[in-house]
Amino acid sequence: MKLPNFKRLVKADYAKEFHSLIEPLSFSINNGIEVLYQTLNKAVSLKDNIACTVKEVLIEVDETGAPKVRTVFYLDSPNRILGISVLNVLHIKNPTITPTSGIFVSFTQENKAVTLTLVKGLPANERFNVTLVAFEG
């Protein structure tokens, strides 16, 4: 559903006796509502508006899905994260090598440090650049 147009609060729309009240209120009210209006009209940004951290990691897993090298990334805040979603996966050298299934990520967290412990769905022994989103909870 598309939002209806935003009508700003303007003192000229009210009787003169209310102008002294409308004028100081209109800036705060118009500014606040305009930000919300724009946000709800497709201006929400994952990085700027959602409690999450977006990171790219280089990773290569073995046959079990365990990273061959300890893989750690750091959050923007020390909040606990609910989980990690994968946004994008690109093979480092060969774009025809792709994930073998949906990707599932297991991790541990200590303050801002998130260590990937298992990444299922990637072909073994291949290096990938993986874009992750860690959602705060």
Residue 76 half-sphere exposure toward CB, CA atoms < 13 A:
12
Position 2 pLDDT exceeds 80: no
Q: What percent of the chain has pLDDT over 90?
A: 80
**Token duo for residue 4:** 């209806």
DSSP letters along the chain, please?
Answer: -PPPPPPPP-GGGS-GGGHHHHHHHHHHHHHHHHHHHHHHTT---HHHHSSEEEEEEEEEB-TTS-BSS-EEEE-SS---EEEEEEEEEEESS-TT---SS--EEEEEEETTEEEEEEEETSPTT-EEEEEEEEEE-
Average pLDDT value for the chain? 93
Query: What is the tens place of the pLDDT at every residue in 75-118?
Result: 998 899 999 999 999 999 999 999 999 999 999 999 999 999 99
- pLDDT at 40 (0 to 100): 84
Q: What percent of the chain has pLDDT over 70?
A: 100
- pLDDT at 49 (0 to 100): 86
- pLDDT at 42 (0 to 100): 83
Q: How far is CA 97 from CA 90, 94, 100, 110, 126, in A?
A: 8, 6, 9, 33, 8
Domain definitions of the chain by residue range:
1-44, 46-136
Q: Which residues does residue 89 pair with via DSSP β-bridges, in sequence order?
A: 130
The mean per-residue pLDDT over the stretch 113-131 comes to 97
Residue 45's pLDDT band (cuts 50, 70, 90): confident
Higher-confidence position of 130 and 44 = 130
Residue 5's pLDDT band (cuts 50, 70, 90): confident
Position 41 pLDDT exceeds 90: no
